[in-house]
Amino acid sequence: MRQLAGLWLGGFIAASGLFGQHHPDPAYLKAHDDALRRAQVWIEPDTPIERATLDRNPDDLEQYASAGRVECRFKPGGVSGTTPKFDCELPNGKTVKVKYGAGNPEIYTEVVASRLLAVLGFPTDRMYVVDVVRCFGCPADPFEKLQCVNEGQTVDECFPQVDYSTAQDFQPAVIERPVEGRRIETQKERGWAWDELDKIDSNAGGASRAQVDALRLLAVFLNHWDNKAKNQRLLCLGEKEPRGRTSKPGPCKRPLAMIQDLGATFGPDKLDLQRWSQSPIWSDPASCTVSMKALPYGGSTFGDIQISEAGRRFLADRLTKLSPTQLRALFVGARITQYPHKNAGAASVEAWVQAFQEKVRSIADRTSCPAH
C-alpha cells in the first residue's frame, strides 16, 4: 500500500508541478523554444485514411517477431508511471518498452489511441500487439522489482545477478517503439506542455493553427488527461539520438511536437467506456471551448482553450473518413474484449464503436465555431 501511495503521489507531483522547481538551462530553453516555434504536429499519412487497416501491427513487426512471439533480454533500470512495464533488448540491439498484464488498461488504450493518431496523420510511437514476449533474465514481475531502482538504489544493487539463461513469458503484452529522432531535452527538462503550443508559428515554418487546434481537439476526444510535459515529446526527425538520451542544444532541421504516452486515455479513468462516452467534447459549445478541468489532475498542462473553426474542420474531415468497419477493426485489433471490464457492456466492440461515432458527430455535426 505504501508503494502504491508513493507512486500515486509521485504522479500527482509530476503532473501538477507542485515541487521540484528548478532553474532551466538557458541554452536548452533557447533550443527548445526555437524548435517548438518551427515544429510540425501533423504529417500527411502515406495511406489514405479510408484505405487504412486498423487491426494490424505496423509493417516492420516481422523484423523481430516470429509467429507472434518476441524474444528479448531484460534491461533493468528506472521506469516511470504506475502500470507494469520494463525495457527489453531485441536481438538486433534495439531496446523496446514492454507493457504487460491482462489487467493493465494501457496495453489496450495505447494501441487504440496510437493507431488512431497514426492513421489521421499525427505522429506517435508505434505499439505492437504480440501473443507473447519471452524475456530472458526477467523476474516474474519486472515492474515490482524495478521499484528498487526508482527508490534510489543502483541497478547493480537491485539486480546483483541477472540470469539470462532463464526466461519469463508475458502475455498479453504489447511492445512500444518510439519515433526515431533526436530528443530536445535534458535530464530535468523534458517534452512540452500543452500551454506551450501557442509558441508554434506557421510564419516561421511551424504547423498551422488549424493543425495545432486539431491536435488539441483530438486530445480532448481521447481524454488524454495525464498530459504532463514528459508525456509529450519534441524531437528532430532524421537525427540520431545521442548516447545517454540527453540532447545537446543545437539546430534542429525538422522539429516535431508529438504525444508520446497515450496510456491514460478513454476515461477519465482508463478504458472506461461509460465515463468516456459521457465526457463532453465541448465545455462551452457556443464558443467552441474545450477543457480538461473535470479530468484527473484538473487538466494538468491543458488549459481551457477556444478551438478555431479551421481546427474543428481539419479534425472532423479526417475523423468522418473512418468507416464503421474500420472502427470495429480498431477495437478488435486492440483486443479490448480481453480486458476485465467492471461493466460487462464495455466488452462490446459495437458499444465502443457507437460511443466513438457519437463523439465524432459532436465535432462534425454542429454549427461553425465563431471567429476569435
Domain boundaries, the chain: 23-364
Closest-CA residue to 288 (of 263, 316, 266, 262): 316
Closest-CA residue to 86 (of 182, 165, 170): 170
pLDDT at 193 over 90: yes
Q: What is the pLDDT of residue 21?
A: 42
Q: What is the pLDDT of residue 6?
A: 37
> What mean pLDDT do residues 57-75 have?
77
Looking at residue 28, its amino acid is Y
Handedness of CA 350, 352, 355, 358 (dihedral sign): negative
> What mean pLDDT do residues 26-52 have?
93
**233: phi then psi, degrees, rounded to nearest 5:** -135, 140
**73: phi then psi, degrees, rounded to nearest 5:** -110, 130
Q: What is the pLDDT of residue 9?
A: 34
Q: What is the pLDDT of residue 80?
A: 79
What's the pTM?
0.89
pLDDT at 268 over 60: yes
pLDDT > 70 in the chain, percent: 88
Average pLDDT, whole number, for the chain?
88
Instruction: Give 187's pLDDT tier (boundaries 50, 70, 90).
Output: low
Find out whether the peptide bond into 172 is cis, omega within 30 degrees of 0.
yes
Residue 289, judged by CB atoms within 10 A of its CB (0-12, 13-18, 19+), counts as middle
> What mean pLDDT do residues 90-108 have?
92
pLDDT at 196 over 70: yes
Task: Give whichever of 17-26, 28-37, 330-339 has the largest mean pLDDT.
Answer: 330-339
